[in-house]
Chains A and B, each alone.
Chain A
């Protein structure tokens, strides 16, 4: 029925089936909207956050999706600035994912701050010493850049593209894409970094505090590296998931392996510095404030296993897997490594957010437990549902995958 809206030369499932899918996704979305309304009406007291855990699931979720959304700026940088041409086959998806991750994170933030209508104060009364000010600036500007990068793709929709004005407009944006990719890279690098810096400057919190380089604590650089070491493989994973669900080939395996190699290389660099950082923190900084490495962990949910999983199973292992040609060229091993990589980065964001504030810093204080409640889960899932919804529409109606027609020729 809607087949004349499909991209040139492709096939899609029937409209009723697609509608059923959208209904399922929308149900999750609506549950989240209900929670969001509660939050806006009654305040964030309805969540599981409390005076110890001012930061919780929302911030963890934000940081994780922003890191995984780094595929957008990094792939854009490699494609448009370093001119790695093969990446043109996946860059559209990377841009859409980046847009979804960033806009999703911003939606969560409007709920997460206690005074959403004052969100713009970050521009009006900026504190130049605060890493969060840098985050506010870069995240909003970068989101705008992502919208600009996303628009030409929407305009390439078959029917829209027949309108001469829109066609030319899209063309002009395309021609200037290197410029936007450049700005995006700059903005995104900075705020990925300042998200790390946000934790690294908290000198009252020994789990997160790091000395550093000029005004930037080490975590600034570690966050940038970990984001570029995981973003590209997240894009690959999403692409593969769409392929599995639709039963089509969308991107040549060679391109995926290349993305894996790029992420793997960056992950190796990241792990190198992360291990040195952890070592210096454990044997140098912690004793200087009278604490030991063992004191940073507690019970199961704050156990050392988190650190070892992050560094070993979900760090060193996928880094090695992604750079070894034999493994990288085997799809299931590549995907396994990619999943481990993404899990590792998410653990990192979780411990920096939750473990950091769960640790008793005053000697007579005690460990605190935090469990997100339904309102936080529902709103976080709402963002996932929003992502799935937009992605489904993009896949159905926009020419996202340039290789699709060729790869699916019977």
Chain B
């Protein structure tokens, strides 16, 4: 029986999970759509991962990350709950010790992590809007009736790249429609959109950051070869897309779990929780004018976690 670690990365669009062994080799990985229901997607993830490895791996530690890291952590009784920036950095450094820059574009957020000598030294995240993220491409692809999987390859076929105003999704959309009405070929528009997202990313998220090679490109959008090519054109650098680019956050969480549980037993609740009913309730506390939204997580009707209040009345 092999011993290993479980990492779970629950984002707004997708839910990722990996099982790695003691040498941090990926034994099994899964990429599912969250579809606005992280509880179900986490359960589904555990079910699938459990079937994959049940006979072969003993879980020594589990880590969660992503925007639903807290919920996931409560559900599986994680040993470590870390934010996605550190998780991505950890995984990147593991696979490429010489990495100096990590570009990560996910569904709803994008970030840049600056690494020097194997230590993350700086980071930035998109703040107010999602114009430089995967959902921007997703949205435009739907509008043009292009399957998102074909987006990149078709963009590479473009003969004349058109410029598309990419500051804001809404402006980009009207500009894109305008170009389409002029009769510009779809491939050229797709290439323009790849340029727009890269321009947006470099001008807002990566603004003021020094991008040095080696540059890693992670996250769901890294599947899009058009965006990768657009990054290479804009930066005049070679971009590396790691083998497990979709699940790098989960791998990072698993590695962090291995660090955390070095001399400890895991608290992992087991793959069986895939069959347990979880529920989240939100209520507004009326104790004071702050009217905090308190979030409760229930396991089979029993409250196991509460948070969200400023004063600690519920969570304290």
Q: Do A and B bind each other?
A: no
